[in-house]
Structure 1
């Protein structure tokens, strides 16, 4: 009886979320498009997101501190098996990759509610949330588990770079 209740509860809460993801497209993430900047403890941050095109988006990111680039990211979001998946790679100065060339970090889209998109690694060790809170304000939350399994959150408040 207890197992039946658990199965029913799982289906009630997971099926609507899954159905929502099946309907998500890369175009639904257009709110992330633009050039976003922020000064933080990490340094001067700049993140560019392209408009959706060809069932994909791409992003480049750099962190500059004391006039030197510390690291970069290159990200694509592609439609995979019916829903968007973020694929990320990090690079040191000199374009030296952190990840193996055959294994980018994968973050399937797990939540899409209006102008909020949440991407999470399958092992749930890292989660990235993007939320457009105003026309020129994008908040990003990086949630990461440390070596001890403790959750650490970094909050970023980006402003749209206006040319």
Structure 2
């Protein structure tokens, strides 16, 4: 009497194959799914930067990461008058860094409700580049240091099922 018939052997082989796939998935999971990111992924932004936007200068400054945060600031001007201020705070969370953004009109009048801010979650990072997605999933932002003296912020929207990015702000380092 055979302990294993052909059908039992095939079932046992399928179970072994399935078990091997599951086991390998667990081994690979930490490298594939664990990219939470940290503030060190955006530390390249530190410094003072200047560019042009909408016919006027735009200034930006970011402090070095310290503790659980990295604060930043932007000032947009036209015809020698401020058109908007923007506060950007990168905060470290257990899920990775987030970006909190508040906009202010001249006179420091908030654009968002006082207890609200735009919120972006970390997606991934490469050397001198970090990708974040707005909480509504409609916008992605890439922060990229293209050289020691150039920092670019790109804005992405989905077009035809793919993300399309354009340079939103191009900054040069202020020395």
* TM-score scaled by length of structure 1: 0.79
**Corresponding residue for residue 87 of structure 2:** 74
Distance 1:18 1:122, change over 3 A: farther
How many pairs does the alignment contain? 145
How big is the alpha-carbon RMSD for the aligned residues of Structure 1 and Structure 2?
2.4
**Corresponding residue for residue 103 of structure 1:** 116
Larger radius of gyration: 2
Q: Which runs of 5+ in 2 are unaligned?
A: 1-24, 159-163
Q: How does 1:2-151 map to 2 (within 5 A)?
A: 18-21=33-36, 24-143=37-156
Give structure 1 regions of 4+ aligned residues with deviation exceeding 4 angstroms. Answer: 14-17
Contact 2:144 2:153 (C-alpha < 8 Å) held by counterparts: yes
What is the Cα deviation at residue 15 of structure 1? 7.9
Contact 1:25 1:55 (C-alpha < 8 Å) held by counterparts: no
**Corresponding residue for residue 16 of structure 2:** none
Q: Give the distance between the partners of 1:128 and 1:101, measured in 2 at CA.
A: 23
Q: Which runs of 5+ in 1 are unaligned?
A: 1-10, 146-150
